[in-house]
Amino acid sequence: MSNILNFQPIMNTPISRGNTVIAVPPQKSNNAPVRKEQGSTNILERYLHNQGVMAVPQVNVVSKAQPINYKNNLRTKFQNNEATIMGVIMRNLGAKNNQGNQLLREGDIKGTFNNAIERLDEFKNLGINTLHILPIHPVGKQNAFGTAGSVYAPSDFLKIDPELDDPNDPRNVKEEFRGFINECHKRGISVMLDLPSCASYDLYNKRPELMAFEKDGTPRTPGGWNDIRMFDPWKDESKRELNPDLLKMHKDYVDMCIDLGIDGIRSDVSRAKPTEFWDILIKYSREKDPEFAWLAESYTYEDASPQLNMNYDRPEDALNAGFDSYYGQYHIFHEWDKASQVIDYVRENIQMSHRLKPGKSVIGSFGTHDDISIMNHGGVDYVNLVSGMQATLPMLNPYYFDGYQSGDYYNYDFENTKDKYTSTDSDECFVHKSKPDIFNFSRPLIGEHPEIGDFMKNTLNVRSNPQYHDILTKGSFIPLKVDKNKEDKIIAFARHYNGKTLLVVANKDVNSTQSGVINIPELKSTQRLNNLFKTYGDESVLQVRENAVNVELGKGRVHLFEIDTPNIEHSGLEVLRQNMAA
Amino acid sequence: MTNLLNSITANQNLKAENKTSFTFDSNGKVKPLQDKAKLLPPKVFGSPIECVKDLKTDVFNIKKALKGQANDYEIGRLNDLGLKAGSVGIASYLYVKNPLRLNKKMEFVGLTTFLGSMMLWPKVMIQAPLKARTGVDFRQEYIDSQGRKKYLYQDPQYVLTDLLPREELDKIGNKMDVDENLSDRDNFIKQRARKAALQANTLWMATAGFAAPVMSALSCNFVERILKTSSENAEFKKTEADAYKPVGENVEAKTKAFDKFLGELIKKEPNAVLSTDHIKTIGDKFGEIFTSSNSGYLTDFFKKDLQILADSSNEINEEFVKKVFGEYDEDGKLYKKVHKTIESPKYSAEKKIEKLVKTYSQSNKLKEELFGKNASEVKEHEMEKSIRNKILINATPTLKSIKTSLVNLYRSLAEYSEKKTNIDGFIFARMGQQNKPNSYIASKWECFGEKFVDALNFDSTFSTTELKKAKNGDEKFIKDKIKQLVKSDKLADSVNTFMKIIDDFNQVVKKCDVTTNGPLDIFKNAREVLVANKFNETAEHLISDKNVGTVYNVYKKGVEDSALSAKASFYRVIQYLGFEKSIEDGSLDKKIENLSQGNNIDKAKIKKACEEILFNSTTVNYIERFKNKPVNLTDKEVKVAMEVLFDTNDTKMLEECLSKDKEFTPEEKQRMLEDYKAHKTETRKYLGNYDNEMRTDFKTRTVADDLDKSIQHSMDGEKKNNLTGKKLTDFIKEAANKKYNSKKWLLFFSGIMAGLTTFTLTAGLFIGRKGKIEKQAEKESKMSIAA
């Protein structure tokens, strides 16, 4: 039995705000056997509720939390560049918009932990081994963005959003989540939960001791995000004394995660907390689970923050404080006009790794939920180019966001329209244009280009193929000189490990073919070039010469070849090696 | 508490793992890494290396901007670059357009003082006081992690207060009176520093628009005084160098062109003789070099000389006819037919030739000689043509024969022309010119004029109201003042001061006098060449003892007139004082009686006329004043008045004053007296010899009537004299006006500057003060500590 939505157009107690009638949050289906976690405070009531839960027959349960033979290794994955991550929004992951409209309505199925399990095999099949789950906490209803509220505006960090509950499952939502995690683990997929950086307005009202205030007493709001308020990580910044209440709440959060079986945390806007805060919290988590992984949403070094009321970004500080990996700057890959900028960025990261403890990495943040669909940068060809880059760049854990694999443009026909079905104090279907919807109950993230998934799968298969795995995850990075390519659009580098070399050649230009001569010392003219990646788009022509390859690359094409140059690292080229964990 | 303990335990457990080369505090906690951005040490001026680096960055930014790839910061820098480049561009344009060295320099002085003012104003008026009072340096610069130089407090939303070192932060906190026990003191200090910087930036923006131009104007005024003398001296030296710079290259180029021109003429007609057309064409070619050296009027005389050459060297007389046609006229019958024409001075050479052609065309012997067997078939006009050629070949000089001497002459005159042009620049720069009135002597005159007015004590003893009267040209007031001086016991002191100024000025004039030596030798040199080539008409009009209206005389006269007029402004004051003194002591009446020689001369009329002339005449319109307004003098009265004004023996007042001076040497006194007398003599000479016939043609100067218009400007005395030889009222009026304006504008701008300074400094005192919010926050913080 599926958990079909049964929205009520107008709820029992409409809230009047000016001329607008706003509906209160949708209630659970009447078919639900019991009500759970509905905010009961009376002990007797809670006792009865639990008894009720226990008494319900275990029927129609999609999944149960069962012990499995799983050991968290997410941190090791990050350290070895072995995590292949998919970002998902639980609110729409398993949703089905049977009615065809993009906002979920009666007759549609909203996302729950249970129906999300159906997607896991798909991810597994693509080559994904880690899920990044966007926040799954109850959402604040005041000053909210969107009709469901932003998933980054939690009203309680230590609870699970009841909206994700399957009404037909007698377990409470937390258990359902635990069940979902188990299903992930069964498939070898690690789970990384997103830790929001700020509080909803509701939480701000409830826990003022956690919050940051301006000198005039108004709460601090991060620029551009009026639905959330900032925490104050400091008790006394000048003495660098941390806010003990906030630290406690985060420790409780870590406890909850570990209790649920979560393998790591993706920290939203990690710069919102200071180095010392993360230092303590991350160590706290490792005390309980040494393999507990931490991913920082941190992009690049900032002298000062360009965002109002927000700290500056310092990835190196974050990594130094214990984070295993960070977001990096690949989300502006499309803005880099020249191939050399890509190489420079890789070089910069590898050099940074030597200033840090071994094993720090970056993720392939080419398109996250904060970015517009990368389909906008050049369609299928561009996305495939990114897939190729994700699979071959060093020090990188490939990262995709749900919808990537099918080319979703993240366009919503309800964008910024009014809707009477709302569970927040806003009736505006707020979305960020061309970005995944995190504000409303809306369609799953599926596009119209399954061929992208095929190519992505192909690239990840190559990456995980034992023949190439070590080369692509541990191998050195050797930038190759490209001649006769005036526009500097050809990305060419070699990855080398234990005498084996992979040659990566890509055309960064998705609008025109690019020709050039790639200098590869020791390359023999008899070298055969077999593309390990699937063919797509325009044809490329390559001609091997002694110590070089003449190329004419199709628009946005990426190629991977194994070449026989065992001594390439000693041929006088720049050789960059990541500071890897032993 | 528990949590903290837990964290310490956790840290201890993990110490082993953390023992690497990373940043930890004593408790094992990871601390933030050092900022990549760096504060720059405060400085007043950037180093040249930095400036070059900045410029390099800006050029790079332009490239990026043109490609549309520049970011906000880079475009912002372009704005600054645009301001500087635009200012340099305007200054450069004005530099090129401005003829005077000082003015050229001042264009860049203006630019520099403006940019300097823009830079210094906030530093001196806001930054320094604010930093001293609060410790906040609102213009603190830093280099960001990308290597870009920025202001720390440029954007209030993007302030890197974290870069401030501990001691700096404490200093600011202490100076801003932030309670040492305040919780979160650092943040509080940073907030207040940011606010103070924002206020200072606002104050800067509010005042810089007024302050920079005013400060720049005052600075320019100051710098101009310093630069003036050095610029004038440099200009003086430069023009001197220009006057004697070599001219060979140009001369040779021109001569080569002329040689080619003649060669082409000869090539067309190898046996061509010097015809009327040739005289015109060749004369015009010479005219070009004359014109370029303001000697254009010599062209006609040169053509005249060419005509003389053509005529005189081709004399057709009996001897010539016998020589050419003798063997064809054995009995002399044909000659008899032409005899009258040939010998008559009435007929031109052309007429004579035509007569010969007609006559000798009847000679069969000549026909056979010229045409041989075909003689019988030859038509009449063919015969005549052949005879005409025979005459011309034998009679008129051919172009070929005179080419070499013409080319040599051309070379010499081209050299004269080039040198003359150079000397023109040299002289005009010293003595002035109609179209370029700014000259060394005019500039010095202006400078000495101001000193002169200072010596009249307008500035120190006159009130502003009196100075205003003087600058308005209140004639009565000026006369009264001078009359008061005559009666006062300060007369000798004042006159001696004047004489010192005049003496100094005379030295300047002497320095500028080029008529007695050196440069003007070019006229003599050119004359010698012309005479040697029998171009006497041209030579006589270039330079001659006999001819008054030569180019040389006009030139020399122009220079002398300028010097005379320049001195006249100053000497006229002495003359006027002497004149008033002679009225006061009664000697003038006696003198007029003596001069009237029994004629009934109206003394009052003479006195009024002299006073009027001394007061309201320029050098050039003395006579108009004499003969017309305001008093109509008869010729006899003019003579008396001229004697009153220019009697070289009438130096009583001056001699008395000089005798009281203790600083001048006797030689100096003597020189001053002689110079004064010489000036009187020169002026009288300039006006004309009144003993014979009064010249009434000063304005048009008959001496220049027959000259080319191109040199008339150097004769236009009135305009030049208006610059240097002003009438007394104008002289005093303008000097007083300048003084008044300088005083007024200086006061005005100084007033604005003082006002702005006061406002800025006062407003600065309010920057960084605790507002309500800060006080409340501090109070609450203290209360929370107490609780």
Tell whether A247 lies on the interface with B, counting CB pairs under 8 A: yes
Distance between CA A135 and CA A125 in Å, rounded? 24
- Is A279 within 8 Å of B29 when comparing Cβ atoms? yes
Pairing, β A190-195 against β A264-267: parallel
Higher pLDDT: B39 or B520? It is: B39
Encoded tokens for A392: 């071959």
Residues in chain B with CB shorter than 8 Å from the CB of A286 are 14
Contact B353, B324 (CB under 8 A): no
Is the pLDDT confidence value at A15 over 60?
no
Please tell me the predicted confidence (pLDDT) of residue B688: 52
pTM: 0.63
Please tell me the predicted confidence (pLDDT) of residue A287: 94
In angstroms and rounded to an integer, the radius of gyration of the C-alpha atoms of chain A is: 25
- Is B30 within 8 Å of A279 when comparing Cβ atoms? yes
Average pLDDT of span B535-540? 84
Measured CA to CA in angstroms, residue B677 lies from A563, B224, B652, B662, B682 at distances of 109, 37, 12, 22, 9
In angstroms and rounded to an integer, the radius of gyration of the C-alpha atoms of chain B is: 43
- Is A303 within 8 Å of B159 when comparing Cβ atoms? no
A83-92, B4-13, B477-486: range with highest mean pLDDT: A83-92
Q: Report the residue from B32, B33, B774 with minimal CB separation from A274.
A: B32
Angle, vertex CA A19, rays to CA A14 and CA A20, nearest 5: 50
What is the per-residue pLDDT across A333-367, written as a single tens digit (0 to 9) for each?
Answer: 999 999 999 999 999 999 999 999 999 999 999 99
Which three-class secondary structure string do you get for B576-610?
A: HHHHHHHHHCCHHHHHHHHHHCCCCCCHHHHHHHH
Question: By three-state DSSP, how is residue B417 classified?
Answer: helix
Higher pLDDT: A156 or B619? It is: A156
Residues in chain A with CB shorter than 8 Å from the CB of B188 are 215
- Is A280 within 8 Å of B773 when comparing Cβ atoms? no
Please tell me the predicted confidence (pLDDT) of residue A161: 97
Q: Which residue has the tokens 């997929």?
A: A189
The H or E element spanning position A401 is strand A399-401
What's the half-sphere exposure (Cβ side, CA atoms, 13 Å) at A567?
7
Which of A174-178, A472-476, B611-615 is predicted least confidently? B611-615
Encoded tokens for A365: 């943040």
Residues in chain B with CB shorter than 8 Å from the CB of A317 are 30, 32-33
DSSP state of A541: E
- Is B31 within 8 Å of A357 when comparing Cβ atoms? no
Please tell me the predicted confidence (pLDDT) of residue A14: 32
Q: Report the residue from A234, A247, A305 with minimal CB separation from B184.
A: A234
Average pLDDT of span B673-682? 88
Contact B423, B552 (CB under 8 A): no
Chain A residue with Cα closest to B9: A284
Is the pLDDT confidence value at B712 over 70?
no
Distance between CA A537 and CA A531 in Å, rounded? 14
Measured CA to CA in angstroms, residue B207 lies from A272, A311, A325, B760 at distances of 39, 34, 51, 7
- Is B10 within 8 Å of A321 when comparing Cβ atoms? no
What is the per-residue pLDDT across A282-308, written as a single tens digit (0 to 9) for each?
Answer: 999 999 999 999 999 999 998 877 776
- Is A283 within 8 Å of B11 when comparing Cβ atoms? yes
Give the end-to-end CA distance of chain A in Å, rounded to a whole number. 50
Give the end-to-end CA distance of chain B in Å, rounded to a whole number. 18
Please tell me the predicted confidence (pLDDT) of residue A175: 96
Residues in chain B with CB shorter than 8 Å from the CB of A244 are 1, 3-4
Residues in chain B with CB shorter than 8 Å from the CB of A356 are 22
Average pLDDT of span B241-262? 85
What is the per-residue pLDDT across B107-137, written as a single tens digit (0 to 9) for each?
Answer: 888 888 888 888 888 988 999 999 999 999 9
The H or E element spanning position A236 is strand A234-236
- Is B29 within 8 Å of A317 when comparing Cβ atoms? no
Please tell me the predicted confidence (pLDDT) of residue A114: 97
Measured CA to CA in angstroms, residue B348 lies from B343, B353, B396, B696 at distances of 11, 9, 13, 42
Q: Is A107 exposed, middle or buried (0-12, 13-18, 19+ CB in 10 A)?
A: middle
What is the per-residue pLDDT across B609-657, written as a single tens digit (0 to 9) for each?
Answer: 888 777 776 655 454 445 444 456 777 787 788 788 888 888 888 999 9
DSSP line for B679-738: HHHHHHHHH--TTT-----TTT-GGGTTS-GGGGGGG-HHHHHHHHS--HHHHHHHHHHH
Q: Report the residue from B6, B23, B157 with minimal CB separation from A320.
A: B23
Is the pLDDT confidence value at B220 over 60?
yes
Residue B360: CB atoms within 10 Å = 25
- Is A303 within 8 Å of B10 when comparing Cβ atoms? no
Distance between CA B74 and CA B148 in Å, rounded? 9
Angle, vertex CA A58, rays to CA A55 and CA A60, nearest 5: 140
Distance between CA B481 and CA B731 in Å, rounded? 15
Distance between CA B672 and CA B622 in Å, rounded? 24
Which residues in A521-547 are b (16+ Cβ under 10 Å) and which e? bbbeeebebeebbbebbbebebebeeb
Contact A234, B184 (CB under 8 A): yes
Distance between CA B420 and CA B244 in Å, rounded? 10
Is the pLDDT confidence value at A80 over 80?
yes
Question: By three-state DSSP, how is residue A504 classified?
Answer: strand
Residues in chain B with CB shorter than 8 Å from the CB of A221 are none
The identity of residue B765, as a single letter, is: L
What is the per-residue pLDDT across B728-761, written as a single tens digit (0 to 9) for each?
Answer: 777 777 777 777 777 777 778 888 888 989 998 9
Chain B residue with Cα closest to A216: B773
Please tell me the predicted confidence (pLDDT) of residue A480: 98
Tell whether A304 lies on the interface with B, counting CB pairs under 8 A: yes
What is the per-residue pLDDT across B71-85, written as a single tens digit (0 to 9) for each?
Answer: 777 777 777 777 778
Distance between CA A318 and CA A306 in Å, rounded? 18
Q: Is B435 exposed, middle or buried (0-12, 13-18, 19+ CB in 10 A)?
A: exposed
Pairing, β A293-296 against β A325-326: parallel
